[in-house]
Amino acid sequence: MNMKTLPDYILLFLKTPDFLLTGERVMTGSAGQKRLPRQYFESNPFPLSPLAEQSRIVAQVEKLQSLTTSLKARLTAAQTKQAHLAEALIAEVV
């Protein structure tokens, strides 16, 4: 069977909190040279989905990341506006 894998799909798996946190506990080497032992990869099977499903997952994650970025920007703008309004109110009262 010749199953293809999207690089972005692999990257998403490698960046999952579970994979990262569990891997951090078994890293070997010194600071700046830490690495995961081969056994870690062998004991954490890669969830290989069909190519169409990989594409769907990557697209959905990208959509959610874009939404998160947008919401963070809106929150920052709202916080800035709130701070300016608070400063203006204080200036009026003083």
Q: Is residue 63 part of a domain?
A: yes
Q: Are residues 63 and 92 in the same domain?
A: yes
Burial class for 54, CB neighbours closer than 10 Å (0-12, 13-18, 19+): buried
What total number of domains does the chain contain?
2
- Tell whether the model's pLDDT for residue 1 goes beyond 50: no
Q: Are residues 31 and 53 in the same domain?
A: no
State whether residue 68 is helix, strand or coil. Answer: helix
| 37 shares its domain with 74 | no
17 & 43 share domain: yes
3-state secondary structure of 28: strand
Q: Let me know if residue 76 belongs to a domain.
A: yes
Condensed to tens digits (0 to 9), the pLDDT of residues 22-45 reads: 999 999 988 778 899 999 989 988
pLDDT at 2: 52
Residue numbers of the domain that contains 93: 49-94
Per-residue pLDDT tens digits for 45-80: 888 999 999 999 999 999 999 999 999 999 999 999
